Amino acid sequence: MEQSSKTPGRLNHSTLKPEIIGIIAGIFTSTSLLPQLIKIIKEKKANAISLGMLFVLMTGIALWIYYGILKKDLPIIYTNAFSLLLNIAVVVFSIKYKQKEPGKGE
């Protein structure tokens, strides 16, 4: 019996389209916070940003990076690493530009 030339996880003609779709999806999801980051930097305001949500999201992204490492899947690793960097930037600028509410003490 002849063995199949298809190796799981390898790029071949039958997996090319799903691979491309995965890369495109990763690009869109990893850049989704870019408009928010630009807005925070331009306006120097970040009162409506939930840091708790960002920390939960960053935990999930870190786990996706770990999963990508375990699977040796570079698109998962790269897109999620970029996403994590954007999220860290949003957190840093959110903390920097969070304005104190009027009437609240130091």
Model confidence over 14-61: pLDDT tens digits? 656 787 888 888 899 989 999 999 999 999 998 888 889 999 999 999
Output the domain CATH number for residue 89. Answer: 1.20.1280.290
Structural domains in the chain (count): 1
Say if residues 68 and 76 touch (Cβ distance below 8 Å): yes
What number of other Cβ atoms are within 10 A of residue 8's Cβ? Answer: 6
Structural domain contains residue 62: yes
Structural domain contains residue 85: yes
Structural domain contains residue 102: no
Taken in order 13, 17, 18, 23, the sign of the CA dihedral is positive
Structural domain contains residue 79: yes
- Half-sphere CA count of 70, side-chain side, radius 13 A: 6
Structural domain contains residue 103: no
Is the pLDDT score of 90 beyond 90?
Answer: yes
What's the predicted TM-score (pTM) here? 0.73
Structural domain contains residue 58: yes
Structural domain contains residue 23: no
Put residue 52 in one of left, alpha, beta given phi > 0 → left and psi -120 to 50 → alpha. alpha
Tokens 């995965």 correspond to: 22
Is the pLDDT score of 101 beyond 90?
Answer: no
Is the pLDDT score of 104 beyond 50?
Answer: yes
Cα separations (Å) of 16 from 9, 30, 55, 56? Answer: 11, 21, 34, 32
Task: Name the residue range of residue 63's domain.
Answer: 46-95
Structural domain contains residue 3: no
